Amino acid sequence: MSDKSLRIKISLTLDGFELDVDETLPFGGVTAIFGPSGSGKSTLLRAIAGFAPVQKGLIAAGARTIFDSSTNIATPPHERSVGLMFQDTRLFPHLNVMGNLAFADKRGASTTSDSLLEDIVERFDLQDLLARDVGALSGGERQRVALARTLLTRPQLLLLDEPLAALDMARKKEILPYLEMTSRAFSIPILYVTHDIDEVCLLADRILVLNRGRVTAIGSTQEIVNSLDLLPNGDPFEPAALIEGRVYAHDERLQLTDILLGRERFRLPLNISVAKGAPVRLRVLARDVAIAKSRPADLSIRNILPAEISRIEDGAQPAFATVMLTIEGGMLRARLTRAAVEELNLQVGDHVFALVKSAAFER
């Protein structure tokens, strides 16, 4: 087996629930573990961390085997070098913020000269919180401290269990940059459990879809988002496409940000937190895309992209069809009525224009 992979072979039964996973992941980047609640996402993380009893399996991070039922290896949780950040943070209430960070730092530091603590405090903007009682932190601050605390154990593998689930939209936006920074700054593999597709699109390099304890799909974020319409149990996973571009300019007067996709421009509501030239991912819902056979004039829609029809599929509901469009540097999906497909006589290979409202990106 390669030193640069993460081997996760787990078979367990817990309170009547069966989890059966057998995957080898690259040793790096963010893997989103995505699925409906009750699909076994958290149990998978707990099994890797050593908190859920695995009956059969093999868990190896790089060259280090932390569990192997065939040779009776079962490293105790505190020796696995696996950092699990719990959804409910579990900050120690008898210690203040600094006490919580120092708890991890003391046990994670290999040498006394190592200054990760100061580095982390700075990166996570925790200076003003250090003396604070953990009970006096806001939800977002708690998550920030919990993530910082986990990183201070110097984990070889980072497991994040729905780190944003308990937060409202405003708080999520407050934490997301820290998560993005974490995946860039610490070159360790991250398994990220979530049921929020927006988080997946923003953070994940690849997606593992879990349903009823089984892996139903695995692949790059773009592959999975572009191909999956419904979760296997019928939960809606809105048909969408993921496109990747770069920030070209910010227009402060009109409050819009321009994204460059190849030579085409996409206009979105202003988001100056992303620097010029930085790569961005946009998840475009199929229902936000319309099709015109010729370039329309006098239209309120700002984003008009030349496209070629690559496929036409029946939609989940009989009245609709999903039209796949190849655009410069990616693809889009459009959800149209079958009536519209017939009336416009849309055929595979047709050159058309895809229309996407900027307002669709309001979040």
Partner 1 sequence: MLEFSAILLTLRLALATTIILLIIGTPLAWWLATTKSRAKPIVEAATAMPLVLPPTVLGFYMLILFNPDSLLGGFWVNATGDTLAFSFTGLVIASVVYSLPFMVQPLQSAFETMGKTYMEAAASLRASPLDAFLTVAAPLSLRGFITASILTFAHTVGEFGVVLMVGGNIPGQTRVISIAIYENVETLNYAQAHFLSVILLAFSFFVLFFVYSTNRQSRVHVG
Residues that bind partner 1 (CB under 8 A): 49-51, 76-79, 81-84, 86, 88, 90, 92-94, 103-104, 107-108, 149-150, 153
* Degrees to nearest 5, angle at CA 201 with 316 and 38: 65
Tell me which DSSP letter residue 131 carries. Answer: T
d(CA 160, CA 140): 15
- List Cα–Cα distances, 242 to 200, 204, 208, 337, 361, in angstroms: 11, 12, 16, 22, 13
Q: What is the CA radius of gyration of the chain?
A: 23
DSSP sequence for 181-245 = HHHHHS-S-EEEEES-HHHHHHH-SEEEEEETTEEEEEEEHHHHHHH--B-TTS-B---EEEEEE
How near is the Cβ of 86 to partner 1 at its closest, in Å? Answer: 6
Query: Nearest CA to 363 among 265, 231, 273, 254?
Result: 273
How near is the Cβ of 100 to partner 1 at its closest, in Å? Answer: 9
Nearer to partner 1, 146 or 321 (CB): 146
How near is the Cβ of 22 to partner 1 at its closest, in Å? Answer: 24
Nearer to partner 1, 99 or 269 (CB): 99
Nearer to partner 1, 95 or 340 (CB): 95
d(CA 39, CA 296): 45
Please check whether residue 206 is in contact with residue 220, taking contact to mean a CB–CB distance below 8 angstroms: yes
How near is the Cβ of 189 to partner 1 at its closest, in Å? Answer: 16
Nearer to partner 1, 95 or 312 (CB): 95
How near is the Cβ of 278 to partner 1 at its closest, in Å? Answer: 33
Nearer to partner 1, 158 or 268 (CB): 158
Collapsing DSSP to helix, strand or coil, 3 comes out as coil
Nearer to partner 1, 49 or 224 (CB): 49
How near is the Cβ of 154 to partner 1 at its closest, in Å? Answer: 9
Please check whether residue 164 is in contact with residue 176, taking contact to mean a CB–CB distance below 8 angstroms: yes
How near is the Cβ of 155 to partner 1 at its closest, in Å? Answer: 9
Nearer to partner 1, 52 or 344 (CB): 52
Pairing outcome for strands 240-251 and 17-26:
unpaired
Tell me which DSSP letter residue 32 carries. Answer: E
